[in-house]
Structure 1
Amino acid sequence: MSIKLTLRILGILLMVFSISMLPPVVISWIYSDGSHTAFLLAFACTLLAGFFLWLPHRSIKRELRTRDGYLITVLFWSVLGLFGALPLYFSTEPHLSFTDALFESMSGLSTTGATVITGLDLLPESILWYRQQLQWFGGMGIIVLAVAILPMLGIGGMQLYRTEIPGPMKDAKLTPRITETAKTLWYIYLFLTLACFLAYWYAGMNWFDAMGHSFSTVAIGGFSTHDASIGYFDSALIESIAIFFMLVSSINYAMHFVAWHERSFRHYTQDPEVRFLFWLLVISCVVTVTILIISHTTETYQDAIRQGVFEVVSVATTTGFGVADFSIWPSVLPFTLFLLAFVGGCAGSTAGGMKVIRIYLIIKQGIREMKRLLHPNGVFPVKVGNYSIPDQIAQAVWGFFSVYLMIFVVMLIGLLATGLDQVTAWSAVGSCLNNLGPGLGEVAAHYGNIPDPAKWILVIAMLLGRLEIFTLLVLFTPMFWRR
């Protein structure tokens, strides 16, 4: 492991990220909102920091090792959250403390969608644009973008790709070369963003809202330019478009690549993970709509269907958009919907949660153990479709699940120690660890009123969720630092 190489790459990535602070400057000039100074200052700070990290080590060139990839990924997302907070901290509107600015920045980059800001409708347009843009870059992962250009700098990128792509099976590549894989992912991502933008625009949003919401929809982020989120537009067409693109973005991007390459959609219906997600959503929608109708929560059946289906898809895909406050819905609905976020979307998608494939494999392994009780000498492979899953992957899934639960409990205790009630603490940890956004209790609307120590714990939770826990925790093992 080379610290000098790590600092060199970190400097390059910071300089690349600094460019993302220039579009809000243009937005600020267009709308004359007066926030351009904050972005220019943040741009200068980020660019100079990256330059001075890169300059002393600019001649260091060698292939990245696995440890380098983990260290660079964790350091970059941590540093990115810090520097991403600068425009929000320097801006006079909203006037945020550094803790709040960091929370908002990490929430955006991790596509969590939890916010400490209220009064979005009155904020400067450049700030609104920046929040949406943070989620867009975080959705696919700016490191995947960097992987596409690292070979041009004399650095291989496979180690970065492994640490960045979510899911239990990380070594599968869409194309033989890692650079082409990263480019392919971004082409798909760009196409979906453009299609979502045009659909929103056609449905009645102005160009600013359409672009902002296309950023957060495809990224499975959930930030909005309005306090009422998607509900602000009160449009069944816009809600339908959001549902479609939330579903598409929650599916493994490898599926989209195959659909484009083979000009066929058949593999979607044949993939066990996609089928499992589909049936989970169908059953959840039926239950939710039925309870809403029986309890007379909505005025009409149509409203029950609109609100029920939208909230199920939004929460299950960990997007976090809203057309209604599901936290005040009757019976078991708030708790049940919130549990869907623990499942999340498919591996290889922009969604959060533990990923559908892991839950699917855990169920499969549970069934296998019951079979072994009846037939102790039998051999029962765990299969996904027609493929047998190696025991190494099955063990990794159980390991992830176990560590996930332990992390959840530790953070829950930490939030309870800050004075939060049980419902708020439980939902806040679950929401941030699953990169969902909205919670229950005091954090149903926003996170601005919880104590600063709780916000710092949740920032760590968001980072853990974004990097799928092990990528971050491995740095705290003695073995990682041994030569």
Structure 2
Amino acid sequence: MGLNLRIIAHIMGLLLLCNGSFMILAALVSVVYSDGATPEIFMAAIVTMLVGTMAMFYTRGHKKEVKPKEGYIIVTAGWLVMSISGVLPYIFTGSIPNLTNAFFETISGYTTTGASILSDIEALPEGILFWRSLTHWIGGMGIIVLAIAILPLLGIGGMQLFTAEAPGISSDKLHPRITDTAKRLWLIYVGYTLLETLLLKLAGMSFFDAINHALSTLSTGGFSTKNQSVAFWNDNPWIQYIIMLFMFLAGTNFVMSYLAFTGKVQKVLKDEEFRTYFFFILSFTIIAAVLVYFEADVQISDYHPMVWGAAESAIRHGLFQVLAVVTTTGFVTADFTNWTPFLTVFFFGLMFLGGSAGSTSGGIKVVRHLLIIKNGILEFKRTLHSNAIIPVRLNNKSVSEHIVYNVIGFFVLYMLLFIIGALVLAYLGLDFESAIGGAASSLGNVGPALGDLNPVVNFSILPPFGKWWCGFLMLLGRLELFTVLILLTPVFWKRT
């Protein structure tokens, strides 16, 4: 049987309508702040929604069934369609007139990478800044998860899309119906965003800065409204502590938040991935804070007023950068590559960690590292007891060999793609440090990198092909490799 191309095109139209609606929201912000970009942003919204309407109209007689193959195509094509249409506000307003740069900024937004080519962010119109943050927020919980919540209106089941969108270790659902799961996830996501906005406003941010940073934090994106990123508020520790709290929550499996809200706190505390995630954050922060305090105090004092003392400053900036890198949010309070050589390598290593499965963060994810470590330890026992069947256990439950092999395969493929990604960037003229940093940052959706792509500069130095290449790595990382790469295999396109 062939592919159901009509349902693919129909859902692309639906996504374009959603994207256009968000553009209208950005245009309304432009009206409020009288930034002069309103007509252009509205025009971008109209074009996007018109194309989406036409796509839905001409495919209205589609078969309302999404098979696994269609699911993978819809997810990958959906992210590309959203990214392509998402360049229109930048192009129409002239904020980023170059197509390559506009696409890089847009796909960096939707994949919640946060890498930017902009040198003067504060010069952008408020409507464009808000649109930039919205691309993060839309991509954070997942474009397709958003669409799943309204697919029943079209009579379409969404399980295949959810599986392709979130191909993690498990597909735990909060509710038997996948659409209700998507709605509950989005309710938590929206609630956290509103709460962070309120707290940041109370802490001293303007409302505009507060809502933009909340959109970026919950999506673990990292786009800021300031050229200095969060370092702009280094004299206000409360703002940074609030952002740290929500970075931690955004890097946690959203199912854990749901369990906590429904009174099942003990289940959260017993979850192995959550405990490992918390332990990683705590131990890495201690290492960073101690080294910052004893070895990088001069650099820290240059970048950050120590309003609460040297020890507090070291802890705060150590914790902030650990959270920003581990959760792949990418906010910046300092150039950690300017602290010590050890900390530069240390944070580079953290780019491969990632937050929890089921979170908005990128990277390999804590649960995969946990299963690889558990399986590695058990190999010693299996060597001594060759006839024994010793399964890997997670949360006191046996993990099937299929999942263990999947995790190992993912890790090997991830590292191979990192090496290939770095080689391509090196071929394009980047030095060793910049090449490996750019590849790790793009594939892990981290944002800041190393060398010439360090946290206080941007990716504008990349040649055009380098920007498209990093955009491809961002998409691979955001959709966890298999969803995109399976489309490049001959077996996928064979008729069955």
TM-score range (shorter-chain normalised) is over 0.9
Instruction: Give, as a single letter, the amino acid of the residue that structure 2 aligns with 1:436.
Output: V
Which amino acid in the other structure matches residue 430 of structure 1? A
Counterpart-to-counterpart distance in 1, 2:342 and 2:167: 30
Residues of 2 paired with 1:243 and 1:440: CA distance? 22
User: What is the one-letter code of the residue matched to 2:276?
Assistant: F
Which residue in 1 is equivalent to 2:8? 6
Counterpart secondary structure, 1:342: coil
1:70 aligns with 2:94: no
Question: 1:340 maps to what in 2?
Answer: 350
**Residue number in structure 1 paired with 2:49:** 47
Deviation per CA, 1:84-128: give whole Å up to 9, x if none.
011112222x34310000000001100000000011122211111
Q: Distance in 1 between matches of 2:129 and 2:160?
A: 34
Within the candidate set 12, 17, 20, 1:18 is matched to: 20
Distance 1:207 1:380 in 2: 55
- The match for 1:217 is 217
| Equivalent in the alignment of 2:239 | 238
SS of structure 1 residue aligned to 2:314: helix
Q: CA deviation at 1:404?
A: 1.1
Task: Give the Å deviation of 1:143.
Answer: 1.2
Query: Higher mean Cα deviation, 133-142 or 264-273?
Result: 264-273
CA distance in 2, matches of 1:446, 1:96: 17
SS at match of 1:332: helix
- Match runs of 1:152-191 below 5 Å: 152-170=153-171, 172-191=172-191
CA contact (8 A) 2:13 2:53 kept: yes
CA contact (8 A) 1:166 1:348 kept: no
Which amino acid is the alignment partner of residue 98 of structure 1? Answer: L
Structure 2 contact 296–340 (Cα < 8 Å) conserved:
no
Give the structure 2 partner of residue 104 of structure 1: 105
Asked if residue 147 in structure 1 is aligned to residue 148 in structure 2, the reply is yes
1:3 CA drift (Å)? 1.2
Give the conservation status (yes or no) of the 8 Å contact 2:296–2:339. no
Aligned position for 1:307: 317
> What does residue 391 of structure 1 align with?
401
Secondary structure of the residue aligned to 1:226 is coil
CA displacement at 1:266 relative to structure 2: 2.0
1:22 aligns to what SS in structure 2?
A: helix
Q: Is the 8 A contact 1:358 1:397 kept in 2?
A: yes
**Structure 1 contact 61–155 (Cα < 8 Å) conserved:** no
Deviations 1:44-70 (A, max 9, x none): 221122223222211113221111110
1:365 equivalent to 2:375? Answer: yes
AA of the residue aligned to 1:345: G
CA distance in 2, matches of 1:138, 1:221: 9
CA–CA distance in 2 between the matches of 1:265 and 1:114?
A: 36
Among residues 408, 421, 433, which one is paired with 1:423 in the alignment? 433
Give the equivalent residue in structure 1 for 2:133: 132
The separation in 1 between residues aligned to 2:337 and 2:185, in whole angstroms, is 35
Conserved in 1, the CA contact under 8 Å of 2:96 and 2:102? no
The CA distance in 2 between the partners of 1:304 and 1:200, in whole Å, is 22
- Is 1:462 equivalent to 2:483 in the alignment? no
Q: Provide the aligned length of Structure 1 versus Structure 2.
A: 480
The counterpart of 1:328, out of the listed 312, 315, 338, is 338
Q: TM-score, normalised by structure 2?
A: 0.95
Whole-Å separation in 2 of the counterparts to 1:251 and 1:386 = 20
Paired residue for 2:458, among 429, 446, 450? 446
Q: Distance in 1 between matches of 2:316 and 2:152?
A: 47
* Residue 296 of structure 1, CA deviation: 4.1
Q: In 2, Cα distance between the equivalents of 1:210 and 1:166?
A: 32
Find the residue that maps to 1:314 and give its secondary structure: helix
Q: Which moved more, 1:83-92 or 1:464-473?
A: 83-92
Structure 2 gaps of 5+ residues are 302-309
- Match of 1:382? 392
Pairing 1:267-286 to 2, within 5 Å after superposition: 267-286=267-286
Question: 3-state SS of the aligned residue for 2:461?
Answer: coil
Instruction: Give the Cα–Cα distance (whole angstroms) in 1 for the partners of residues 320 and 138 of structure 2.
Output: 24
Report the Cα offset of residue 332 of structure 1. Answer: 1.0
Aligned to 1:227: 227
Identity of aligned residues (%): 40
Q: 1:345 offset after TM fit, Å?
A: 0.4
Aligned residue identity for 1:359 = H
- Partner residue in 1 for 2:304: none
Shift of 1:370: 1.6
State TM-score, norm by structure 1: 0.97
1:306 alignment partner AA: R
Alpha-carbon distance in 2 for matches of 1:240, 1:349: 20
2:306 matched residue in structure 1: none
Shift of 1:157: 0.7
For the structure 1 residues 96 and 344, does the alpha-carbon distance in structure 2 shift closer, same or farther, using more than 3 Å as the test?
Answer: same
Aligned to 1:407: 417
Instruction: Show the counterpart of 2:489.
Output: 477
| Matches of 2:14 and 2:326, distance apart in 1 | 36
SS at match of 1:388: strand
Q: Indicate conservation of the 8 Å contact 1:269/1:275, yes or no.
A: yes
Cα deviation per residue 1:255-284 (whole Å; 9 max; x = unaligned)?
1111122x2422222110011111111111
Kept in 2: contact 1:199–1:241 (CA 8 A): yes
Task: Note the C-alpha offset of 1:308.
Answer: 1.1
1:293 paired to 2:305: no
What SS class does the counterpart of residue 383 from structure 1 fall into? strand
- The CA RMSD measured in Å over matched residues stands at 1.2
Looking at structure 1, the residues matched to 10 and 462 of structure 2 have their Cα atoms a distance apart, in angstroms, of 38
Task: Give the whole-Å Cα distance in 2 for the aligned partners of 1:166 and 1:399.
Answer: 13
| Counterpart residue type for residue 215 of structure 2 | F
Distance 1:105 1:145 in 2: 18
Deviations 1:401-430 (A, max 9, x none): 111122112221111111111111111111
Partners of 1:10 and 1:197 in 2: CA distance: 31
How far is the alpha carbon of 1:166 from its aligned partner? 5.0
The answer to whether the Cα contact below 8 Å between 2:79 and 2:143 also exists between their aligned partners in 1 is: no
